[in-house]
Structure 1
Amino acid sequence: MLNVKTYSLGPIQTNCYIVSNKQKDCILFDPGEESSKIIKVLRSNQLKPIAIFLTHAHFDHIGAVDELRELFNVPLYIHEKEVAWLGDPMKNGSGKYAELPDYIVKRPEEEHIIRKEQSFDILNVSFKAVFTPGHSPGSISYIFEEDGFAIVGDTLFQGSVGRTDLIGGSHEVLLKSIHEKLLVLPEDTIIYPGHGSYTTPTQEMDTNPFLNGF
């Protein structure tokens, strides 16, 4: 059984998820900021990072990536459509805010660029990377079927959906992604979003005003 811990980090409280097994191996999802806090958590719990996976490349999801992967010597996984965003502040959004530094992250190795929907076998468990564009063109949701949860980035929130007014965003595409990839999951699947509290497909189908009638 996997353990999922949530840490809300950075200027807009982006959720970083640390998913670990009994052997203390772990995967980091969206380490967006405050690398020192993440490192403290890892060391105090004797966790060993195996990889970093990104749901997408907006600045608030990538800020701690380079420091963590260099310290722990782990690979970075991201959708091919957003590799260039890592080093481009205007694409990742940090360049639009005068109060923020430019967020620049080195690109991943070629073998760790996600070019198709696929399964990964890490932590002695298999999980799927499924494409859920709309908030951004390279948004990915990670589905842990056996453990009953999904990490979905800024695609779906409790009572809301991701914004679509940024580069490559599309409200129509976003709703299609939610409907075809997330709402079809088992009703009690825990949906872990990029911001805010977790939810379930059932809760969002019943109460989310953005999905009403879709």
Structure 2
Amino acid sequence: MNWTQLPLGAIQTNCYILENDNGEALIIDPGDEYEKVENFIKEKGLKPLAVLLTHAHFDHIGALDEVRLKWQVPAYLHTNESDWLGDPEKNGSAHFPIVANYQCKPAEKIINSEQDISIGSFHFQVIETPGHSPGSVSFYFKDKGVIFSGDALFYGSIGRTDLYGGDQSVLLESIHQKLLPLPEETIVAPGHGFETTIKNEKNSNPFL
């Protein structure tokens, strides 16, 4: 499996496109600029199978409906944010004048708990990492040594907790109990900024 990071939109949210040897793809957090996502998929000749949402803030869902319409694929979202896609107050778009009030269709696949999921030949673990938002999850591909952490853990930082449903103590607990115990060489692919590793964040992240 290979993955490509596409920073999208005014806040440069990282969308990740994962591809396997069969030309199948998963799309994580299509936050904006649908055309960039479409062009990448077309240029690579990929077949998307699903959209994975680390959480439902506006900067992670801006191109969601266009992606689903184009490729007729389902979106996966945690149950704690199942009503956020259509609610600008909860997804935050009502409070940022640089974007429209986002009202997306509900997710087709609701994640109710930590679990292993297989989509095509992709196999990964859903790890609940709330705090930045109540339904935040991370997608852990153990065999590839990478976790897509959304806005929980960043290079040298952690997610903000001043938005609807945020809680810093819960976020720190999530990071310490769910992310830092992973193998130190695990690559952390965050929702914003550069990739890092668990070892690097253990050793140098000032918030931890």
Over the matched positions of the two proteins, sequence identity in percent amounts to 51
| Residue in 1 that maps onto 2:179 | 182
SS in 1 for 2:48: strand
Q: In structure 2, what is the Cα distance between the partners aligned to 1:107 and 1:176?
A: 29
Q: TM-score, normalised by structure 1?
A: 0.95
Q: Partners of 1:97 and 1:24 in 2: how far apart?
A: 37
Q: Which runs of 5+ in 1 are unaligned?
A: none
Structure 1 equivalent of residue 111 of structure 2: 114
C-alpha distance in 2 between matches for 1:71 and 1:204: 38
TM-aligned CA deviation for residue 121 of structure 1: 1.1
1:46 CA displacement: 0.1
* TM score, norm. by length of structure 2: 0.98
Output one character per residue of 1:80-137: Cα deviation in whole Å (capped at 9) or x when no partner.
111211011111111012232111110023xx10011111112423200110000000
Distance 1:75 1:132 in 2: 22
Secondary structure at 2:84 match in 1: helix
Match of 1:10 in 2: 9
Taking the TM superposition and a 5 Å limit, the aligned residue runs for 1:49-60 are: 49-60=48-59
Q: Which amino acid aligns with 2:7?
A: S
- Residue 204 of structure 1 aligns with which residue? 201
State the distance in 2 between where 1:39 and 1:54 align. 18
Letter in 1 for 2:12: Q
Q: Which of 150, 155, 159 does residue 156 from structure 2 map onto?
A: 159
Q: Which amino acid aligns with 2:172?
A: L
How much is the aligned-residue C-alpha RMSD, in angstroms? 0.8
Q: Which residue of 1 aligns with 2:62?
A: 63
- Asked if the contact 1:130–1:181 (Cα under 8 Å) also holds between the matched residues in 2, the reply is yes
Contact 1:20 1:26 in 2 (8 A): yes
Runs of 4+ with deviation above 3 angstroms: none
